[in-house]
Chains A and B, each alone.
Chain A
Amino acid sequence: MLTYVAKRLLHTLPVAFGVSIVCFMLVHIAPGDPLTSVLPPDASAQLQAEMRKIYGFDRPLPVQYGLWLLKTLQGDLGVSIATGRPVASELWRALGNTLMLAVLATVIGFVLGCLFGFVAGYFRGSWLDRLASFVSIIGVSVPHYWLGMVLVIIFSVQLNWLPATGAGPGGSADWAWDWVHVRHLILPAVTMSVIPMGIVARTVRALVADILSQEFIVGQRAKGLLDAGVFRHVVKNAAPTALAVMGLQLGYLLGGSILIETVFSWPGTGFLLGQAIFQRDLPLLQGTILVLAMFFVGLNLIVDVVQTMLDPRVQRS
């Protein structure tokens, strides 16, 4: 197992290098001037040129990339052009907020998704299957930013039960696990959980239906195994794939929550990424994309390892 983990870790190195090149080049290829956010629109050409030199944007791209990579390897992601604050500090704060949101959304999505998936797969063809499938299809299909707005209108504006925006009354800096703060987490987490819920439910339904039709289940039943015992076998067989899907979903949620975090003004990586894009804040954009990509790579690694531990067939292969 250790050799496997070490090998997988080694595989991540070229991936990380490729990701660093792609994310650096992509943000430079995109149109727009990185100094737009720090200069008044009518800044003179001379001032623009001076500032370009001060920020190092007058150098050739390969030189800029080399310098950035060198600093990144030393743990220095640079300084945000728009805010003047270190990218690392901006990113860690946002990452903490997004992790909190994404993990909660994944847990909600996974639990509900498994529930609906098992029910639908176990009672295939029944009205329960149709109901659970309907809910999971809705989950996959509904635009989550739209759902977020609807939830805000109902629960914040009309009923005034939950706050509409932000990460706590005093911001995320004074976050605490009490009701005053946790209530800020509920609407974005529920909104974010809808897609993983749908995807996990569809996957689990298909898995359960497939496992139930296999010969070993028929054999178990013929030997007189009760439904509870059959259920245990189904769970054991479906778990590795469901877990893999969940791991991927967590990765997506970490990086792909721009719309939800914007709707709820949640100060996470999605919100940060959105602002960095609009402000052409290249160091922040590069740093955020790189770290999120590495998170995705890391999550895939963890899921693979856990899957290997759960499923001996994967280990053997």
Chain B
Amino acid sequence: MRIINLGAVALLASLGFCQPSLAQGVLRIGMTASDIPLTTGQPDQGGEGQRFMGLTVYDALVHWDLTRADRPSTLIPGLAASWTVDANDKTKWTFKIRDGVKFHDGSVLTAEAVVWNLDKLLKTDAPQFDQRQASQGRSRIPAVGSYRAVDALTLEIVTRAPDATLPYQLAWIGISSPAQWEKLGRNWQEFAKTPSGTGPWKLTGFTPRERAELVPNKDYWDTTRIPRLDRMVLIPLPEPNARVAALRSGQVDWIEAPAPDAVPSLKGAGIQVITNAYPHNWTWHLSSAEGSPWNDVRVRKAANLAIDREGLKELLGGLMIPAEGFMPPGHQWFGKPSFKLKRDLAEARKLLAEAGYGPAKPFQTKILISPSGSGQMQPLPMNEYIQQNLAEAGMKIDFEVVEWNTLINIWRAGARHESSRGATGMNYSYFIQDPFTGFMRHLQCNLQPPAGTNWGHYCNADMDKLFNEVRNTFDAAAQSKVLERIHEKYVDDALFLMVTHDVNARALSPKVRGFVQAQNWFQDFGTITMSP
């Protein structure tokens, strides 16, 4: 018996040695992306690209505080230790670059290196100009007019007009190593294979479309953020069922965005399903173009009052936060809107009748929807549910289903464009993390297509005045107050059909410990450990 026991111990020990990766703390993540995001500093693949290949390998001048799960994230200093705006000239910003920061290749971060990085995105005749990074990064920093290194650790940026949202814009821009680019023959293709940033993770290798491996940067300047894991492996798994199967079979330890119908089985198998609020919304963007029935605030309010958001939550297995406004409930810019988003069919019908709709003149309009898409959650069943809700209030909705990329192009073209096919609304989910993406781009007068993505051609002098005030309010607390007023106007004027917010679901093996899910599109993986 003793021999058998010893044999069993030896066998178990050998099995342990056969799987050293798990014992040493390797986290394998199944991403929804179909490819490893661009590794040169300005990742593609949207929010997920920035989450896994942007803020891991690179730092920006300004960071999001990702340490707390119980409150929305705010901006904190990153590679810029501090910044100020010139009291006399509100377009002139001075950024103090953090001293002693080194790139993964050992070269030192300076203000010149930041200028070099801005040139790689904005200066088309610069040797380091990279069209792939430029196409991702340029639209993120529309305020930047000019810039220069005042000294080794002082950077000056002059904006095109006073714009207090500049720090939010700079939080998108990853700083790559000029020395590494020089060393690799001034070639971004080569740089992509062995990139060098200043971030808490170093990329040690990747196979396109299959996997990327990152190891901790033990010399990271913020010692509290040095990753505790030994390695992190990123695996593109775009098919939702493949992600679930990979997690259930132990091939990965973490998957992004599990399908709602897989959640009960995942929980039943002991998998942790983590959710939290974050700045995302799922709306119908309503048209304000001539002839749109949504131009009447009573109609907009009636539609918002007809939606059964709790029923929709049940449909999605609880994986949503019912909308109480355009921003998620509890957001720092939520304010105190007076219009409450609750289901009140009687009030909805009354408002519709006041607007002139009834049996003699039934309400009918067309909405563009997509069968799938980034952030669109479960668009077909959700839209059908809403269609049913609105029908109960006396609003007949016809859908035109278009493929997601086509919908993006229609969204860029605007409601008046022929590609919108006479639709008066479109189902579109939004990244609403900063003042520009959250509010301005949707409703600012001068951002009507083709200049911007104010799809519905909304234009309101009061709203524009508020946007202008945000850009000219440089004190963070005061700026937040203005943003609250904007949000109150969004809700009180019922400018969108506000339906729900996603909850950023991810499923984690029970071995994954220490993850703090920030209320943000981006996350910090430094706190994670793997239990044996």
Report which A residues bind B (CB closer than 8 A).
31-33, 35-45, 47-48, 51, 54-55, 82-85, 90, 93, 149, 152-153, 156-157, 160, 163-167, 170-173, 262-265, 267, 271-272, 275, 278-280
Contact = CB atoms under 8 A, between A and B. Distances in A.
Given A165-B237, A166-B235, A267 B412 contact: no
A41 B406 contact: no
Interface of B: 34-35, 38, 44, 46, 131-132, 135-136, 138-140, 142, 188-189, 192, 207-211, 235-239, 241-242, 245-246, 248-251, 403, 405-406, 408-409, 411-412, 437, 441, 449-453
A36 B139 contact: no
Given A84-B38, A265-B242, A275 B135 contact: no
B139 A84 contact: no
Name the residue in B138, B188, B208 with the highest tally of chain A Cβ atoms < 10 Å from its Cβ: B208
Given A45-B412, A157-B248, A271-B209, A38 B242 contact: no
Contact of A83 (B35, B241, B245, B450): B35
11 contacts: A44-B142, A47-B135, A51-B131, A82-B35, A149-B245, A165-B235, A171-B211, A172-B207, A172-B210, A265-B236, A265-B246
Contacts of A156: 245, 248-249
B135 A263 contact: no
Contacts of B135: 35, 38-39, 43, 47, 51
Contacts of B211: 166, 170-171
Given A38-B132, A44-B452, A47-B135, A157 B249 contact: yes
B209 A267 contact: yes
A165 B437 contact: no
Contacts of A172: 207, 210
Nearest to B33: A275
B452 A278 contact: no
A275 B453 contact: no
A280 B34 CA distance: 13
Contacts of A93: 208
Contacts of B408: 33, 36, 41
B510 to A, nearest CB: 16
Contacts of A262: 238-239, 242
A164 B403 contact: no
B242 A45 contact: no
Contacts of B411: 41
B131 A31 contact: no
A31 B452 contact: no
Contacts of B236: 265
Nearest to B172: A40
A275 B409 contact: no
Contacts of B403: 31-32
A251 B444 CA distance: 54
Contacts of A275: 34-35, 209, 238
Given A43-B135, A85-B189, A275-B35, A32 B406 contact: yes
Given A40-B140, A45-B450, A84 B192 contact: yes
Contact of B237 (A42, A44, A163, A265): A265
B409 A33 contact: yes
Given A33-B405, A37-B44, A83-B208, A42 B139 contact: yes
Contacts of A278: 34, 405
Nearest to A280: B405
B210 A163 contact: no
Contacts of B38: 83-84
B160 to A, nearest CB: 13
Given A152-B245, A275-B35, A40 B207 contact: no
A265 B237 CA distance: 6
A272 B44 contact: no
B131 A54 contact: yes
Given A36-B409, A42-B437, A275-B34, 8 more contacts: A47-B138, A51-B131, A153-B245, A164-B249, A165-B246, A165-B251, A272-B209, A278-B34
- Which 3 residue pairs of A and B lie closest in terms of their CB atoms, listed nearest first? A171-B210, A45-B450, A164-B245
B96 to A, nearest CB: 29
A54 to B, nearest CB: 5
Contact of B250 (A42, A160, A170, A272): A160
Contact of B409 (A32, A37, A47): A32
Given A156-B245, A164-B242, A165-B246, A42 B453 contact: yes
Contacts of B248: 156-157, 164
Nearest to A32: B405
A40 B139 contact: yes
B210 A41 contact: no
A275 B32 CA distance: 12
B67 to A, nearest CB: 27
A164 B139 contact: no
Contact of B245 (A33, A157, A272): A157
Contacts of A37: 44
B453 A41 contact: yes
Contacts of B246: 164-166, 265
Contacts of A43: 135, 138-139, 412
Name the residue in B38, B46, B242, B246 with the highest tally of chain A Cβ atoms < 10 Å from its Cβ: B242
A187 to B, nearest CB: 10
Contacts of B251: 163-166
A84 B132 contact: yes
B242 A264 contact: yes
A206 to B, nearest CB: 37
B409 A42 contact: no
Contacts of A272: 209
B405 A38 contact: no
A90 B189 CA distance: 14
Contacts of A31: 403, 406
A48 B241 CA distance: 34
Given A45-B450, A171-B207, A263 B239 contact: yes
Contacts of B139: 39-40, 42-44, 47
Name the residue in B207, B210, B235, B451 with the highest tally of chain A Cβ atoms < 10 Å from its Cβ: B210
A153 to B, nearest CB: 7
A315 to B, nearest CB: 45
Contacts of B241: 149, 152, 263
A271 B239 CA distance: 11
Nearest to B436: A42
A117 to B, nearest CB: 33
A163 B136 CA distance: 35
B136 A40 contact: yes
A272 B437 CA distance: 32
A37 B242 CA distance: 23
A163 B249 contact: yes
Contacts of B451: 44-45
Nearest to A81: B132
Name the residue in B34, B188, B237, B437 with the highest tally of chain A Cβ atoms < 10 Å from its Cβ: B34
Contact of B210 (A83, A84, A152, A267): A267
A265 B239 contact: yes
A85 to B, nearest CB: 6
Given A84-B192, A164-B249, A263-B241, A173 B132 contact: no
A2 B451 CA distance: 64
Nearest to A51: B135
A67 to B, nearest CB: 18
Contacts of B138: 43, 47
Nearest to B132: A84
Given A45-B451, A82-B44, A173 B210 contact: yes
A166 B249 CA distance: 12
B513 to A, nearest CB: 23
Nearest to B34: A275
